[in-house]
Amino acid sequence: MNKIVERALPAVLAIGLAVPAAAQGLKSYEPLKDPQIAKRPSQKMLVVDGKGDPGAAAQVAIATLYRVFYTLPGAKMAAPRARWPMPLTSPKSDWQGLFGLPIPDDIKSLPAGVTDARIEIWFYGEVAEILHVGPYDKEEPTVEKLMKFIADRGYVVAGPHEEEYLAGPGMVAESAKYQTIIRYQVKKK
């Protein structure tokens, strides 16, 4: 086992305990139960690719993210995110996702030997976002509500579907209590 994996393994195994720290203060996200337009700055991210059904792809990608994340100096716990650049109507077996965690701007490179993750800048600007409470496979009405809000406000979607996982597996026992921010970059028509 290489030294990076050896040092990070306890942290990866503790994801279910560590991620709730990122979810503290979930009440602050209550206003997002109604869709909103907001401005978000670009953010440096640690990114891992995932392919196929989101449930299976996420398990592998999130474990890889945290394995690498805990080796980075100054990295602070945050909720993981995923971007889905293809249409959500595509067969799930064909989905390609980008799973990411925010990292400090001063991190310029990953430790030697890390080949399954990379550093990217995720651009935002104006975004439309909403809080979805419940299982991931029941997001469709929430997404539809957000899309209607976007159109009604004179905007169009200008970026991929993004999810920020505030409370999910390993954090809450029931999928009915999962909390996910659904987000799209938008621009005026």
pLDDT at 93: 84
Residue 32, both tokens? 């997002």
Distance of CA 112 to the CA centre of its chain: 25
Q: What is the pLDDT of residues 58-72, one digit of tens each?
A: 889 999 999 999 999
Alpha helices in 70-186 (DSSP H): 140-152
Domain 3-188, what architecture? Alpha-Beta Barrel (3.20)
User: What per-residue confidence (pLDDT) applies to 25?
Assistant: 61
Predicted structure pTM score: 0.85
Q: CA–CA separation, 57 vs 97, rounded Å?
A: 8
Quick one: 79 exposed, middle or buried, by C-beta within 10 A (0-12, 13-18, 19+)?
buried
Q: What is the pLDDT of residues 10-26, one digit of tens each?
A: 333 334 434 444 445 67
Tens-binned pLDDT, residue by residue, of the chain (189 aa): 334 333 333 333 334 434 444 445 678 898 999 999 999 999 999 999 999 888 888 889 999 999 999 999 998 989 999 999 887 788 888 889 999 999 999 999 999 999 999 999 999 999 999 999 999 989 999 999 999 999 999 999 999 999 999 998 878 889 999 999 999 999 999
